[in-house]
Structure 1
Amino acid sequence: MSGDLTAGARLALADRLAGAGVLDAGWREAFEAVPRHLFLPPVYWEFVDDVAVRRDRVADPEGWLAGAYRDTAAITQWDDGDEAGGQQDFTSSLSMPTMVARMLGDLDVENGHRVREIGTGPGFNAALLAHRLGAEKVVSIEIDEALARAARGNLAAAGLGRVEVVVGDGADTALGPGGRADRLIATCSSLLTGVPVAWLEQTVPGGVIVAPTATLFGGGATARLQLADDGRSASGRFTGAADFMRMRQQRYQAPPVDAYLPGDWPGDAEASLTDLDPEDIGDSWLAQFAVGAALPDVYYRRAPYGDTVTWWFFDTAVTSWTTVDSVPGQGEFEVRQSGPRQLWDETHTAWNAWDKTGRPDYERFGLTVTTTGTRTLWLDDPDHLWAPTAH
């Protein structure tokens, strides 16, 4: 699988990204030059119609190679590398080219810039940065030693072995090699309430941080933050939807339902009706983002029972729970709420606020992070905080 065999595929991929308006002209040469297939293992998984399809280089070399140049993500690791895990959760991937191109465009690099990447993964993103800026300008941090080792091999195969790949926690305050960077980019998602303060300390004043963020409730978006001249805060808007794997330090392990409801359902829950179908929230990644940003300590689970889907809402303090039954064709839906917080009322209030504000898109939302650890979400202006619920 020489470069000659993939030159046309690389060019076609770049053409598709440019045609979609996501490929900044300054990045086209890198996408045409760096062979994406060199950053894939012999076996990876590609999602087709929400099903993970196995691509095996030995069994189907043509299918394996074709997948490398489609605009899809490739799963390269399951269960943190635990081969006995039964492939429960994918934990590393080669990101979708569209998302890679958008985030690199958000980074707004210039010649001479030093870039720190959080989350090396297979190394493709680092390779693009190195091709554009020079390998000596790129330091990539990877928490998984096996992934870091594989990324070094991939980068070497692409002729970019001088990129420094460091095994470590990207949220650590230690600067590590390279000192402060002009640009920082993360390829793993952090919670809105958990964007690492260390990233401000790793970036020069006036520098830019591009990072996917998410809420516990659901929904995610890429934040583009610029550091203030004094380096004490970083602020900026979101640039679009994003769905990345969560930083390992921020994965949430929800308690069992019995921790909330030790007896039989509905327990002491109060019954009511609502005219909002929870499926309307679940069908919108943006709505989940807006609601989750207003309720950072609330999450949900869906439980289908025939035609009915029961939505369970929980708070992380394990004090309150709610169920809402979504039944197709109905105009009202049964609600059961238990605990000191009325979680459906809070969710409905947040959804109403987003709806009545014109259902603002990601670009109207912004985030400010300070070195003291405060993180505030705002709408349209940093002085207009997004806090439509109170409890």
Structure 2
Amino acid sequence: MTKQDEAAEQIAMRGLLGEVTADLGAPLARVWEEAFWAVPRHRFLPDRVWLGTDLYPCDRSTDPGGWLSAAYEDDSVVTQINDGNAPAVSESWASSSASAPSIVFRMLDMLDVKSGHKVLEVGTGTGWNAGLLAHRVGADNVATVEVDPVLAVQAALNLKRAGLEPEAICGDGAAGYLASAPYDRIIATCSVREVPRAWVEQTRPGGVILTPWETPWVCYGLVRLVVDAGGQASGWFHPHSAFMLMRNQRTDLRIFQDVVRDDHVPDESSTGLSPWAVTGNDFAAQFAIGLQTRDVWRSWHDDPAVDGVASRLWLATTDATSWAAVDWDGQSEDRFTVWQYGPRRLWNEVEAAHAWWHNVGRPGPERFGLTVRPDGTHAPWFDRPDQVVPRTG
């Protein structure tokens, strides 16, 4: 490496540190700033990454400046597409990424790791987060699990080259890692729709589980749970973050192929609730709707090729037994056509969920919490654990 390359890396790292500080609203804690400098992010990224919503490939060999800039922007970087398989034309999708550094350090701060703590990380990815943890508490106190065998091998190599060798396992992170349990802290770098029971069972009483959260309606938020002596975990949701879903919790459905059938005869009605009010930029509304509908997912179709329809919002249950569509004619702003099929009336459920959220003051995620009971059932709550969030379906 030339002195010019070293200087460029130092400048890029200082710039990123400033961006992270600005995003967090305060300087990094000393222990995490030390880890930031000791475990450089760019050493954990593959030579090819994908950028932007179009997943434009950026190669270190042909565009070293662009690659280094991507490594030290406060943004996520896609490090694998299509689970590592060759994509068909126009069918590329992100399957692994290096998270934005600001959310990485926000989560590490929320985890409240202390010296000597044993930590399990679920979702090794590039290995950078595991490296930061290993620098903080010692490699012997960190175990990290990655489901993708190719990513697991590469992450282990990245960590070894950095002089950090936590226990790196290729396996299903939903099962935790019993061999090194119990843990003081468990942190996930993938979102979940349900907190795996194994995580609770492998956490010491008083220990913390921190994971990104997702419902089929929206991927948004974090949940921080504290485990008690009775095997129950409870704690608050927080805003921020959108992570890729844990692979074994994916919903692999397509509206037209897997849900809607030619012989389905839906009921027609109308609504004054705009579909954009429940799917737009108001993530507080989306978060609350997701907690209430639980198993309802959505998909926009902006070119439905139906006369008089400019845009269509599709809704369906994850078991594909009920669906709904809300049509916009391209002109009216207060009246939309609704089609519903199946044993559940999904748009009615969404309307009820939105009305409840509005009536309790339009709260954000930070006023909601979650209890995972010893039997594994999940109970989202509002303001306090005895105020369970209503379920629409």
TM-score scaled by structure 1?
A: 0.92
1:152, distance to aligned residue in structure 2 (A): 1.1
- CA contact 1:10–1:33 (8 Å) conserved in 2: no
Alignment of 1:322 onto 2:330 = no
- CA contact 1:37–1:69 (8 Å) conserved in 2: yes
Distance 1:328 1:123 in 2: 50
Amino acid at match of 1:240: P
Unaligned 5+ runs, structure 1: none
Q: Indicate the RMSD between aligned Cα atoms, in angstroms.
A: 2.0
Equivalent residue for 1:373?
376
- CA contact 1:76–1:92 (8 Å) conserved in 2: yes
Equivalent residue for 2:20?
17
Amino acid at match of 2:145: I
Matches within 5 A, 1:283-322: 283=280, 284-305=282-303, 308-322=310-324
Q: Where do 4+ consecutive residues of structure 1 move more than 6 Å?
A: none
Equivalent residue for 1:39?
44
1:371, distance to aligned residue in structure 2 (A): 3.1
SS of the equivalent of 1:100 reads helix
Q: 1:342-362: per-residue Cα shift (whole Å, max 9, x none)?
A: 111111000111112111111
The counterpart of 1:153, out of the listed 147, 150, 157, is 157
1:250, distance to aligned residue in structure 2 (A): 0.6
SS of the equivalent of 1:59 reads coil
Equivalent residue for 1:244?
243
User: Are residues 134 and 8 of structure 1, via their aligned partners in 2, closer, same or farther at CA, if it must alter by over 3 Å?
Assistant: farther
1:285, distance to aligned residue in structure 2 (A): 2.9
SS of the equivalent of 2:262 reads coil
- CA contact 1:6–1:35 (8 Å) conserved in 2: no
Equivalent residue for 1:274?
271
Q: 1:235-282: per-residue Cα shift (whole Å, max 9, x none)?
A: 100121321111111111126536544326xx5322222111111211
SS of the equivalent of 1:279 reads helix
Distance 1:304 1:116 in 2: 42
Distance 2:160 2:57 in 1: 26
- CA contact 2:24–2:106 (8 Å) conserved in 1: no
Equivalent residue for 1:185?
187
1:289, distance to aligned residue in structure 2 (A): 1.9
The counterpart of 1:333, out of the listed 319, 330, 336, is 336
Matches within 5 A, 1:22-171: 24-25=28-29, 26-47=31-52, 50-85=53-88, 88-160=92-164, 162-171=165-174
1:3, distance to aligned residue in structure 2 (A): 5.1
- CA contact 1:80–1:91 (8 Å) conserved in 2: yes
Calculate percent identity across the aligned residue pairs. Answer: 41
1:138, distance to aligned residue in structure 2 (A): 1.0
Unaligned 5+ runs, structure 2: none
1:75, distance to aligned residue in structure 2 (A): 0.6
SS of the equivalent of 1:263 reads coil
